[in-house]
């Protein structure tokens, strides 16, 4: 029987990996503050995050500031604040990102606000009530499954190793290969049962969006009573800039261009990160990537100084970034936070979701 001791260490590692995978999968679906669906009463920016992620939150807030004459966006994509007081925390994040100069280019402003604490708090709030998933928990679940795969490979490798190490010529005294076979079967069952869900939005979140679609939606919360254009803001939050008929064509064109730029930067950063990791080379510049940081997540990674580097990126579990793969600049106050909720989604979360989606 001592020949079967070859399988003790692989069995212990497999059991630990299976328990870790089960635990992390349970945390993905955990809802700390379950509530009923708010129906068509969901706040404006919460709806924007649920439907399109952090990028949609910024787009909706900028349109709201335009309607309230708090900001002006010209054809070249330069945002100029008018000095009006911020309406909420996201407006304040835009003011802080613009800085004391009172004006800033739309693209960098969009990327900074998407990763601000105010936008991340929206994703966390949605995740707490079960409408979105936390992207850092999804990433933990994926890591746990990779560890489970590795332990199964170790169990499979222990079979020929045990036969090679065993020099006894008596067939009845050979290691019992039923043990590693059972372990591999148990590992396969654990892999199937711990598969993480796909997407940033939960089934409850999908039902919530279905309740708000169909007929034009006018938000009851998140819009100043003095502000007109509530239906337009509702269309932007639910369907994005392309689905809303903005009264200012320059504003729409500039914001669509900024969203396209963010998507191109994200894809370029994802491709750069893939080739860099596959070659095993390390970046010569500064890196502020984090496996748990994502749009819509409170777990953030500081981006450091505003200097650019050749391969600096602010990746998340969804590979969203704060800058291009050649000359990115995160800004001294930006952070690579989601989702999710969430890339999220939320970059976290998904974050699932596209952090720069409109």
279 falls within a domain:
no
Is 75 in the same domain as 166? no
Distance, in Å, from the CA atom of 311 to the CA atom of 15, rounded to the nearest integer, reads 39
Is 292 in the same domain as 178? no
- Backbone phi and psi for residue 246, each to the nearest 5 degrees, phi listed first: -70, 145
The last residue of one of the domains, among 193, 210, 236, is 193
- Domain count within the chain: 2
For residue 140, what are the domain limits? 2-30+134-193
Digit-coded pLDDT (tens) for 60-118 = 999 999 888 888 888 888 999 988 888 899 999 999 999 998 889 988 999 999 999 99
Is 71 in the same domain as 161? no
HEC secondary structure over 71-104:
EEECCCCEEEECCCCCCCHHHHHHHHHHCCCCEE
94 falls within a domain:
yes
Is 250 in the same domain as 348? yes
Is 170 in the same domain as 148? yes
175 falls within a domain:
yes
Is 292 in the same domain as 183? no
The last residue of one of the domains, among 193, 209, 232, is 193
Distance, in Å, from the CA atom of 178 to the CA atom of 47, rounded to the nearest integer, reads 54
Is 189 in the same domain as 292? no
Is 41 in the same domain as 123? yes
- Backbone phi and psi for residue 97, each to the nearest 5 degrees, phi listed first: -70, -35
Tell me the CA distances in angstroms from 331 to 19, 98, 308, one per residue in order.
Answer: 41, 11, 9
Is 119 in the same domain as 248? yes
Is 37 in the same domain as 177? no
3-class secondary structure, 222? coil
128 falls within a domain:
yes
What residues form DSSP beta bridges with 72? 80
Is 13 in the same domain as 66? no
Distance, in Å, from the CA atom of 342 to the CA atom of 358, rounded to the nearest integer, reads 15
257 falls within a domain:
yes
328 falls within a domain:
yes
281 falls within a domain:
no
Distance, in Å, from the CA atom of 177 to the CA atom of 275, rounded to the nearest integer, reads 40
The last residue of one of the domains, among 143, 161, 193, is 193
Is 269 in the same domain as 337? yes
Tell me the CA distances in angstroms from 189 to 8, 186, 343, one per residue in order.
Answer: 20, 5, 29
Tens-digit pLDDT string for the chain (358 aa): 445 667 788 889 999 999 999 998 888 888 777 777 888 889 999 999 999 999 999 999 999 998 888 888 888 889 999 888 888 999 999 999 999 988 899 889 999 999 999 999 999 999 888 898 888 888 888 999 999 999 999 888 888 877 776 665 555 556 677 888 888 999 999 999 888 888 888 888 999 999 888 788 888 888 876 676 788 888 899 988 877 777 677 777 788 877 777 777 777 776 665 444 444 444 444 333 333 334 434 333 333 333 333 333 333 333 333 333 333 333 333 333 333 333 333 344 434 343 444 4
121 falls within a domain:
yes
């Amino acid at each position: 029987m001592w020949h079967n001791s070859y399988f003790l260490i692989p069995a212990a590692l497999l059991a630990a990996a299976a328990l870790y995978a089960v635990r992390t999968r349970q945390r993905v679906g955990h809802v700390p503050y379950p509530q009923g669906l708010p129906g068509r009463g969901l706040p404006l920016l919460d709806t924007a995050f649920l439907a399109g992620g952090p990028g949609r939150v910024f787009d909706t807030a900028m349109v709201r500031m335009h309607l309230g004459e708090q900001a002006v966006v010209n054809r070249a994509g330069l945002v100029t604040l008018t000095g009006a007081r911020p309406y909420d925390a996201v407006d304040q994040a835009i003011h802080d990102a613009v800085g004391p100069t009172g004006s800033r280019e739309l693209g960098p402003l969009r990327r900074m606000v998407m990763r601000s604490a105010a936008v991340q708090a929206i994703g966390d709030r949605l995740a707490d009530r079960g409408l979105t998933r936390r992207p850092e928990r999804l990433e933990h679940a994926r890591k746990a499954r990779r560890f489970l795969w590795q332990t199964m490979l170790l169990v499979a490798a222990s079979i020929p190793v045990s036969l090679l190490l065993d020099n006894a010529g008596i067939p009845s005294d050979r290691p019992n290969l039923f043990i590693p076979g059972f372990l591999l079967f148990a590992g396969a069952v654990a892999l199937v049962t711990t598969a993480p869900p796909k997407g940033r939005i939960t089934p409850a979140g999908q039902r919530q969006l279905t309740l708000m679609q169909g007929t034009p939606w006018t938000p009851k919360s998140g819009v100043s009573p003095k502000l007109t254009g509530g239906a337009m803001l509702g269309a932007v939050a639910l369907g994005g800039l392309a689905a809303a008929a903005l009264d200012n064509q320059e504003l729409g064109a500039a914001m669509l261009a900024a969203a396209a730029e963010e998507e191109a930067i994200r894809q370029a950063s994802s491709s750069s990160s893939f080739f860099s990791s596959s070659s095993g080379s390390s970046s010569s510049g500064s890196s502020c990537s984090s496996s748990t940081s994502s749009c819509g997540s409170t777990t953030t990674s500081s981006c450091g100084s505003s200097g650019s580097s050749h391969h600096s990126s602010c990746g998340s579990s969804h590979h969203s970034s704060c800058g291009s793969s050649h000359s990115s600049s995160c800004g001294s106050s930006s952070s690579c936070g989601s989702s999710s909720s969430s890339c999220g989604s939320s970059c976290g979360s998904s974050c699932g979701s596209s952090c720069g989606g409109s």
